[in-house]
């Protein structure tokens, strides 16, 4: 087996405990990559949805066990709870199974760039939507998630690769597209105001690297719809990877390499 080695890896919005979680793809990614730092940027376990509709699969347990194993092998793992696993924020400052729990973090890249790292839901409060619109959004998200699950279930039976269905739908809805773009701008502007070179987050399920007037907005995406992670190469270059039956480079920071050749796994 060949292992891809990175300086840092950032994943979020896994939503273990949700039927739409793509745990098998994430497990494959975790087993085929290594890094010095691993950031779990929120919504790893979907406590919120489990209270409404309890669900758990053996693959979800396997993901948790793999995360603990990664920490035990020496990778420094930091877990930053999001809005779906918010009850775990009360344990900030503690360590569990070798994993540090924090409300946020500051990551210094190999190139010296300083990034604020947080889940991203803290930016929602600045632009609160009406209650009725939030409810409509929740219904639409469940519908799109089910469509993505059923559509890809059919593709697997036909021997076809996984395809993201939901993002195309969201970006064709003007209100959703504007919300995503406004969110990205707010996050980058706040990072610039606070003296950071960029901000790394999740929350909105769209893996992306965007240069906003010299400040980088980086989103590691999710493992419900898009199966993406943000990785830092050893020269500080950032890249968003899509990982299912095939690996694709989705986005790169300035001067990032387009692809990285796999290195032999350590004996």
Residues 74-126: tens digit of each pLDDT = 999 999 999 999 999 999 999 999 999 999 999 999 999 999 999 999 998 65
Per-residue DSSP letters for 121-151? GGGGGGGPPPHHHHHHHHHHHHHHHHHHHHH
Window from 49-53, 99-103, 125-129, 260-264 with minimum mean pLDDT: 260-264
- SS3 for 7? strand
Give me the pLDDT at residue 145, please: 66
Report for 114-128, 151-165, 218-232: range of highest mean pLDDT: 218-232
Give me the pLDDT at residue 258, please: 35
Residue pair 222/11 in contact (Cβ under 8 Å)? The answer is no
Give φ, ψ of 217 to 5 degrees: -100, 125
Burial label for 73, CB within 10 Å (0-12, 13-18, 19+), is exposed
- What is the mean pLDDT of the segment spanning 206-224? 94
Residue 13: pLDDT band with limits 50, 70, 90: very high
The dihedral through the CA atoms of 57, 61, 67, 73 has a sign that is negative
The CATH homologous superfamily for domain 2-256 is Metallo-dependent phosphatases (3.60.21.10)
Give me the pLDDT at residue 18, please: 92
Whether the pTM exceeds 0.95: the reply is: no
Give me the pLDDT at residue 248, please: 78
CA dist., res. 53 & res. 51, Å (int): 6
In eight-state DSSP terms, residue 244 is: S
Residue 256: pLDDT band with limits 50, 70, 90: very low
């Amino acid at each position: 087996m060949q292992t891809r080695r990175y300086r840092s890896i950032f994943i979020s919005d896994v939503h273990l405990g949700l039927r739409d979680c793509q745990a098998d793809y994430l497990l494959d990614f975790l087993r085929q990559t290594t890094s010095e730092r691993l950031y779990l940027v929120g919504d790893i376990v979907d406590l919120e949805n489990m209270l409404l509709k309890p669900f758990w699969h053996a693959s979800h347990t396997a993901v948790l066990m793999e995360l603990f194993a990664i920490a035990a092998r020496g990778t420094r793992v930091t877990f930053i709870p999001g809005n779906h696993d918010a009850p775990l924020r009360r344990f900030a400052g503690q360590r569990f199974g070798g994993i540090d729990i924090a409300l946020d973090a500051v990551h210094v890249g190999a190139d010296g760039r300083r990034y604020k790292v947080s889940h991203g839901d803290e930016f929602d409060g600045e632009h609160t939507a009406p209650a009725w619109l939030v409810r409509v959004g929740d219904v639409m998200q469940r519908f799109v998630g089910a469509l993505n699950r059923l559509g890809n279930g059919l593709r697997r039976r036909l021997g076809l690769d996984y395809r993201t269905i939901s993002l195309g739908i969201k970006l064709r809805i003007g209100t959703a597209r504007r919300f995503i773009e406004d969110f990205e701008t707010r996050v980058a502007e706040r990072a610039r105001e606070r003296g950071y070179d960029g901000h790394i987050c999740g929350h909105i399920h769209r893996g992306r690297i965007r240069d906003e007037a010299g400040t980088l907005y980086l989103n590691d995406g999710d493992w419900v719809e898009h199966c993406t992670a943000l990785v830092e190469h050893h020269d500080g270059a950032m890249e968003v990877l899509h990982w299912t039956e095939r690996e694709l480079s989705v986005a790169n920071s300035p001067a990032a390499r387009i692809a990285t050749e796999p290195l032999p796994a350590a004996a």
